[in-house]
Structure formats: structure tokens, C-alpha cells
Amino acid sequence: MKLIGLKDLPDNFRVGLEEDFREELFRKSIEKIGEVKELAKILKCCENTILNLRKGASFIKASILKELSKITQTSFEKIELHINELKTRNKKRRIKVKFPIYASKELASLVGHCIGDGSLTNRQFSYFNTCKQLVDEVKNEVNIAFSTNIIPTEFEKDRGLEIEFPTSIARLLLLAGAPIGNKLLNEIRVPNWIIEGSKEIKVAFIKALFDDEGWIKIKWNRRSKNTQRLIGINMAKKETLLKGHERFLEDGRKLLMEFKIKPSKISNMGKTKNGISLGFTISNFQNLENYFKTINFSHPSKEQKLLKSLTSYKNFNFKFEKNKYI
């Protein structure tokens, strides 16, 4: 499924074209209009800009590409196949890109990480985690989903690692439905392409979200005199946005139920200094085993805690094969 094509790009989004195709596109445009001066008027730029764009000295605005498509009767689909670079804030750096952008498990995971420990603004996408394995996973997913030559800025922070990606990657993630700005103060939804996506896409999204925001507990319940084993997730939200937050969490519950994992109902888990925390839990052997088999964690310590939860069940050997998972 094609998710982001030329028609989806904001008019001021700038890209680079393969040299031969770029030359041919401008040559045809000039022939159709008659002269460079007239083409410049239509494209609302000066003649020197046209010449620079034709040479590849400057990146081309999406609005200009759309106009050239109309003038030369070249389809968006054909132009997309020849887009090979993205503009960054560093004018000397050119980022290769695989275009158009298709729905994929890597992109679904990145959206999940944006909702979790990632941060998205109009200027950059950043991700922080104390687990290096998750940081490396995000790097790899950006390379698979978007580009093979992006090296993020990386620095140590709060006993973990933070990586920062350029503006063009942030804007592509925004187009893919990742939330922008302060997540506490903005409503979040699971993008439709994930809800309606393949099994792989749904699993990747859930795993990334729970790797960042999920937790696992094994605790003794004094009242029932039973041991509770729980996977849970809870996130805080400004009080005025709680209804929208419930819808987001309900989307997450429905995705889990597609894999025969039955979560609890959404509940209020208490006030925080910034808002109210809502969440749900997953309990009992069958649900935990189904989660382990179909989704699991990339976070090593969470994966081990989940395995410990399963193996702590009395007579667990009669319920599933221990050696299959260890």
C-alpha cells in the first residue's frame, strides 16, 4: 500500500530528482510553454531559479513538481519513481530516499515509538531510551522505511541515548500519522493504515508502543491470596483530552484482541503532576502466552520478565513447552 506520494507532500517540501529525468522534465516544460521567462511566471519564480533547478543546484519544491507534472502531462507516479533525495537543514548534505513511501512494519514501529519515547516537531524527530537495543532498532527502521544513508546525531543523556533525525524525516513521519508536539497536551490516534494493515504492521506497532510505554509486574495480592502477573500500559493526558485518550487506548485494545489477547477495560490509574493517567492490563496465562508468541518485546529485560511471569505459573510445563521459548 502506497502511503506517501507526490500528491501528499506539502507544497514547500523539497526533493531532488535523478539527473536525466530532471533535465528531460524541464526541457519538455520549456518546449510546451515556449521560453524560460514564461515558465518562470507560471511557476512563480525567477528565470535563474529555473536554471538552477534544471541543473540540480537547488532542491525542487513539491508545488513546482506538481505544476511541471501538469504542464508535461507526466503522471505523479512516474515522477515519484525518480525522486531520490530529500532536503535537510544542512545545505551541504543530501539524503537519499526511497520514494514513494509504502506502509511497512518498520514505519508502523516508528509511529509506535513516536507515541512512546519519541518526540516529533516540525524541525526534527528524536528518540530517547536507556535501552541501546531499542535505539539501534529505531536507527535501522528509519533506514529501511526512508533512507539508507541517514546517520542521526547521537548523544548520551540521563543514562541513556538520544538520537535526532533531520527535518525531512520528521515531516514524513508526520504525514504517516505520527503525533506532533507535546503528547500530554494533544490528542493521539492510531493511524487508519495501521488499524487496517497487515498482521505484521499491527504487531510492529503494538510491540514498539509496549517496548516504550508498557510494563510487567509479578505481585502477591493479599486480598485474593493469589500471585498476579500483569502486562500493563498507562499514559497521562490533560484532563480535557481524556475522551480522545480513551479512544486511542480502545484502538490499542482492539488490536490486541485480534491476536486473541483479552485486555482489561480501560481504567483511571491516578493523577500525575501533569494530568490523569489512563490504561489497561493483560493478565492470566493464556493472554500472556499469546502476547509472548505473537508480539513479545524487543526490550531484553521486559522479554525476560514476561518469560519469568509465564514460567512462574504452577505446573506451567503442562501448559506450554518451556524449551520452545528459552
pLDDT one digit per residue (tens) for the chain, 326 residues: 999 999 999 999 999 999 999 999 999 999 999 999 999 999 999 999 999 999 998 899 999 999 999 999 999 999 999 999 988 665 566 788 889 999 999 999 999 999 999 999 988 999 999 999 999 999 999 999 998 788 899 999 889 999 999 889 999 999 999 999 999 889 999 999 999 999 999 999 999 999 999 999 988 777 766 788 999 999 999 999 999 999 999 999 999 999 999 999 999 999 988 889 999 999 999 999 999 999 999 999 999 999 999 988 865 654 555 555 54
Structural domains of the chain sorted by starting position, each given as residue range(s) with its CATH number in brackets: 2-96 (1.10.260.40), 103-181 (3.10.28.10), 213-325 (3.10.28.10)
Q: Is the pTM of this model over 0.85?
A: yes
8 A C-beta contact, residue 235 and residue 245 = yes
Q: Cα separation of 235 and 213, whole Å?
A: 8
β strands within the chain, DSSP E: 2-4, 14-17, 60-61, 83-86, 95-96, 101-102, 118-120, 125-129, 153-157, 160-165, 214-221, 226-237, 267-271, 276-283
Distances (CA, A) of 16 to 49, 76, 87, 207: 14, 15, 8, 34
